[in-house]
Amino acid sequence: MKLFKEAALEVDNRKLDEVSSASIISQLGMDSVAQMELVSWFEERLRVRIPDEELSKIRTISDLRDVLARLLPPGTQIAA
């Protein structure tokens, strides 16, 4: 959660206090541009590229974490 909150603050100047892994990203008050910037932030920060077909699967913070976990080297921990 900490990494996701950091990303939301940097990308959209949005301080998120009440989020969980089940939180739906589109319902956090970010517009579609901010959501894409959020994804880009994670790609840059974690040095991965999320394929377009994976983007459509990301609805919740947990979905984002799962997609990133599949793209990172085995054993890498993410606290999205």
Rounded to 5°, angle at Cα 67 from 21 and 13: 55
What is the pLDDT, as a whole number, of residue 76?
Answer: 77
pLDDT at 78: 72
Q: What is the pLDDT along the chain (80 residues), one digit of tens a residue?
A: 789 999 999 999 999 988 999 999 999 999 889 999 999 999 999 999 999 999 989 999 999 999 999 999 887 777 65
Q: For residue 29, with 0-12 CB atoms within 10 Å meaning exposed, 13-18 middle and 19 or more buried, which class applies?
A: exposed
Return the closest-CA partner of residue 29 out of 47, 52, 12: 12
Indicate the pTM of the whole model: 0.87
